[in-house]
Structure 1
Amino acid sequence: MTLTSFGPANRIKRSAETHPLTWRLRDDGEAVWLDEYQAKNGYAAARKAFADMAQDDIVQTVKDAGLKGRGGAGFPTGVKWGLMPKDESINIRYLLCNADEMEPNTWKDRMLMEQLPHLLIEGMLISARALKTYRGYIFLRGEYTTAAKHLNRAVEEAKAAGLLGKNILGSGFDFELFVHTGAGRYICGEETALINSLEGRRANPRSKPPFPAAVGVWGKPTCVNNVETLCNVPAIIADGVDWYKSLAREGSEDMGTKLMGFSGKVKNPGLWELPFGVTGRELFEDYAGGMRDGYKLKAWQPGGAGTGFLLPEHLDAQMYAGGIAKVGTRMGTGLAMAVDDSVNMVSLLRNMEQFFARESCGFCTPCRDGLPWSVKLLMAIEEGRGQQGDIETLLGLVGFLGPGKTFCAHAPGAVEPLGSAIKYFRPEFEAGIAPASAAVPPLARPIVIGA
């Protein structure tokens, strides 16, 4: 898989004016270490934030820029920062970077951490200054061993240069940063499950309220942001709100740029930094190069396995949260997957639901029991053993596991692709249903729910 921000045939030149996240990338794919990063204006934004900006001004600047979370939820970052307590007597606060990135078909944060580790550190440093947090943790997916090695080296470089630790840049502000590798659970992408795991507990989501800004890691105020989100902060501080907003395409309600990609049997699978508001067709045809010879596009997901399937005619939707919502699903992580015409949708969904069922924390009944139930039904349909009413049962599970029905967002994300697959490709599911006259033992018949 190509980890690059280049356009097709390198026709788009990256620059600080148009590609705030990726313009510093090396052509050889090697990591940008401290000397090179500083030569490319690295830590200039941090120096500006420490020397010229009050802490509340940093928060307001990020809020005015319209930066939203890049992990999939899309919550306004400045608003989230504003939830941290203003009480100066609370002197223990934490900043957590969610670098778990376990969403299938998503690898954007990996590229940033492996090739631009100091960009993340600078983003966290400025954010810590704004939030008055004295300690930070990068909660990293355990399988990202190269990212862990590069981040740890970058942390040591920053410490040696006086950019982390005590009295940073002579400001009197202290900030320690640690890289923490997780044991590997998809649910750790949920911020409170991440907090539990960091504390050494089972990675179950917590009840909210209280929210982490009030009661987070070890009971102290905590802010959790995604890698890509934090990497946007230095450019916003350095170049300002108006410039950042101008990066997005006309019509987009989301500001700035986004790391977007395409996987599957496309000619040029990869990752690119693009302005919010580009169309899915541009991403698919101009950057990913369309389908490989001999394959046709059957369906696509716009942002990871937890987003609904779309059809080829939906490619003209703009890639931002509201644009994708208009065609019936979510932007998610912005890394799309192409499904070719050789793929059976029942088999694909069975594979996806097996993943989501395995990764459930098991805390709430709908998710713990509903997802394995969907897997059993899909396996039967896949093998031609499906029974009359199985599809209706699956649709009932989609409803019972939808938003607001479970303890966290794991189950709603798991069933969204299932519901959309049945909507668009129901005949493929019906093909696995046995004739009504087939003899079936009574106990083998599923209970039909959700009429």
Structure 2
Amino acid sequence: MTADPVTPVLTKRWLSPQSWRLSTYEKLEGYTALRKALKGTPEQLVQLVKDSGLRGRGGAGFPAGVKWSFMPPNEDKPHYLVINADEGEPGTCKDIPLMMADPHSLIEGCVIASYAMRSHHCFIYVRGEALHCIRRLNAAVREAKAAGYLGTDILGSGFDLEITVHAGAGAYICGEETALLDSLEGRRGQPRLKPPFPAAAGLYAAPTTVNNVETIASVPYIVNGGADWFRQMGSEKSPGPKIFSISGHVERPGQYEAPLGTTLRELLELCGGMKDGIPLKFWTPGGSSTPLFTAEHLDVPLDFEGAAEAGSMLGTTAVQVFNETVSVPWAVMKWTQFYEHESCGKCTPCREGTYWLAQILERMVSGHGTEEDIDTLLDVCDNILGRSFCALGDGAVSPITSGIKYFRDEFLALCESNRRELVGAQA
């Protein structure tokens, strides 16, 4: 297999008729990787994924092979593989289309990964609102089981695996892996104190690996193509293809597969440019919890290192594009209201901080802000960043601090209009 930068890998079956059916999947190399994987040892598979350089596609970018290697080799306790398909980040919409169009690529990846980690039960935790997606996954699991790709003695290998598709209960916080595990156990979704880490004591206090949908769906391609083939795409430290979810003021919003390291300038070409030709003002490289970028960042390579060096994060590559008609304080306020609503309330910095941030921004956007409010916003952000129980707090402050960094004038303008009103009233 040779890699061409424009040849789709993860999305290659999406446009096939009834792409979600097992019959279509099998015609297009489906389950060939599983047969190949079952001939090897779990250790060989873990090493292959390490060599490929595959990094977690859920936002953190942790090397998948390294994560898999944390699973203990002994089986005195059950091992679990949990797929994080919660996808609640504003702007993120890559996993649900993947599961809708090509659910068997995820299931095949689950079987291979479970075999590599000696797990005999895999859970796919899907966002509860995505009912159509849950039904399609359940149908795909039934198809795979009937064909002998799931269940007992898979393809005569002696390996057994059950997959359970679990519907979440509509909480953004359950995208955090330990909150997801609590929810899966029937508890309220709240982050756990670490350590212990899931690899030591995760689901039902047993060794657990939590991976994103896109990460696991990449595994069959790595098994078939090999580590060197996978490394031909993307950059040295962030290899492989990636699904970029482009939304907002572009001519053709949607899912675009491109190698990691692609720039926004190149992505805009793929999706037909800015809508109605109105210039770009600001954008998020990885969803609303990543610091904003501006038109100056058009040529930042969108891989884990490039985005970080430019002052943001790659996140889930949810590229939200905003043109010059959008008010930055207004957009930041809308995101902050979301974080206030979705805070689980477990820790004080996030529970209280997001509430106060939303209050101040609402007052500013309604034209009743003061210049001190900008300092107060930054002070509250400083008290949340790095002090909250999980990353939700850090995500909540990202749009505010970056918004003020690049567009302080817009925040000041809201205070100016208020000052003029006060002067007018006194006169």
Classify the TM-score, shorter chain: over 0.9
**1:355-401 C-alpha deviation (Å, 9 max, x unpaired):** 01100010110000000100010011111111341100101122111
Separation in 1 of the partners of 2:4 and 2:321?
29
Contact 1:252 1:320 survives alignment (8 Å): no
Is 1:23 paired with 2:12? yes
Partner residue of 1:68 out of 55, 58, 77: 55
**Consecutive aligned runs of 4 or more in structure 1 exceeding 4 Å deviation:** 14-17, 436-439
Stretch of structure 1 that moved more, 149-158 or 14-23: 14-23
Alpha-carbon distance in 2 for matches of 1:386, 1:337: 27
Counterpart of 1:335 (choices 303, 318, 321) is 318
Q: Displacement, 1:265?
A: 1.4
1:6 match: none
Preserved contact between residue 98 and residue 225 of structure 1 (Cα < 8 Å): yes
Superposition deviation, residue 27 in structure 1: 4.6
Give distance in 2, aligned partners of 1:184 and 1:31: 28
Q: For residue 80 of structure 1, what is the amino acid of its counterpart?
A: K
* 3-state SS, counterpart of residue 418 of structure 1: helix
**For residues 206 and 407 of structure 1, what CA distance do their matches in structure 2 show?**
8
Q: Which amino acid aligns with 1:424?
A: Y
Q: Higher helix proportion, which one?
A: 2
Aligned pairs for 1:16-415 within 5 A: 18-27=7-16, 30-51=18-39, 53-90=40-77, 92-248=78-234, 251-284=235-268, 286-293=269-276, 295-402=278-385, 404-415=386-397
What displacement does 1:20 show? Answer: 2.2
What does the per-residue CA deviation read over 1:270-302, in whole Å, with 9 as the maximum and x for residues that have no partner? 111101111121012x11222122522111111
Structure 1: where are the runs of 5+ without partners? 1-13, 440-451
Contact 2:177-2:210 at 8 Å conserved across structures: yes
Q: Secondary structure at the match of 1:151?
A: helix
**CA deviation profile, 1:419-440 (whole Å, cap 9, x unmatched):** 000111111111222339959x
Q: Deviations over 1:402-447 (max 9, x none)?
A: 1x311100010111111000111111111222339959xxxxxxxx
Aligned partners of 2:224 and 2:108: how far apart in 1? 12
Tell whether the 8 Å contact from 2:371 to 2:412 is kept in structure 1 after alignment: no
Q: Secondary structure at the match of 2:210?
A: strand
C-alpha distance in structure 2 between counterparts of 1:268 and 1:437, whole Å = 42
Q: Whole-Å Cα distance in 2 between the matches of residues 209 and 44 of structure 1?
A: 38
Supply the distance in 2 between the matched residues of 1:301 and 1:26 (Cα, whole angstroms). 28
Q: Which residue of 1 aligns with 2:414?
A: 432
Contact 2:19 2:25 in 1 (8 A): no
Aligned length: 419
Relative to structure 1, the CA distance from residue 137 to residue 16 in structure 2 (aligned partners, 3 Å threshold; closer, same or farther) is: farther
CA RMSD of aligned residues (A): 1.7
Inter-partner Cα distance in structure 2 for 1:437 and 1:428: 17
* Amino acid across the alignment from 1:260: F
Superposition deviation, residue 110 in structure 1: 0.9
Decide whether the 8 Å contact of 2:91 with 2:245 is kept in 1.
no
Q: Is the 8 A contact 2:124 2:166 kept in 1?
A: yes
User: Per the alignment, do residues 89 and 27 of structure 1 end up closer, same or farther by CA in structure 2, a change over 3 Å counting?
Assistant: closer
Structure 1 residue 16 displacement after superposition? 11
Identity %, equivalent residues: 47
SS of the aligned residue for 2:196 comes to coil
Q: Give, in angstroms, the shift of residue 233 of structure 1.
A: 0.4
Q: CA deviation at 1:120?
A: 0.3
Q: 1:16 to 1:131 in 2, by over 3 A?
A: farther
Q: Which runs of 5+ in 2 are unaligned?
A: none
Give the aligned partner of residue 9 of structure 1.
none
Tell whether the 8 Å contact from 1:267 to 1:288 is kept in structure 2 after alignment: yes
Tell me: CA distance 1:94–1:188, structure 2 relative to 1, closer, same or farther (3 Å).
Answer: same
Q: Which amino acid aligns with 1:257?
A: P
Separation in 1, partners of 2:5, 2:383: 47
Paired residue type of 2:225: D
| Counterpart Cα distance in 1 of 2:360 and 2:15 | 48
Counterpart amino acid of 1:97? Answer: I
Counterpart CA distance in 1 for 2:6 and 2:276 is 36
Amino acid across the alignment from 2:384? L
1:142 Cα deviation after fit = 1.0
How has the CA–CA distance of structure 1 residues 16 and 324 changed in structure 2, closer, same or farther, with 3 Å as cutoff? closer
* C-alpha distance in structure 1 between counterparts of 2:224 and 2:389, whole Å: 40
Q: TM-score, normalized by length of structure 2?
A: 0.95
Give the C-alpha shift of residue 15 in structure 1: 8.2
Residue identity opposite 1:348 in structure 2: A
**TM-score, structure 1 length as denominator?**
0.90
In 1, the alpha carbon distance for the partners of 2:278 and 2:15 equals 33
SS of alignment partner, residue 81 of structure 2: strand
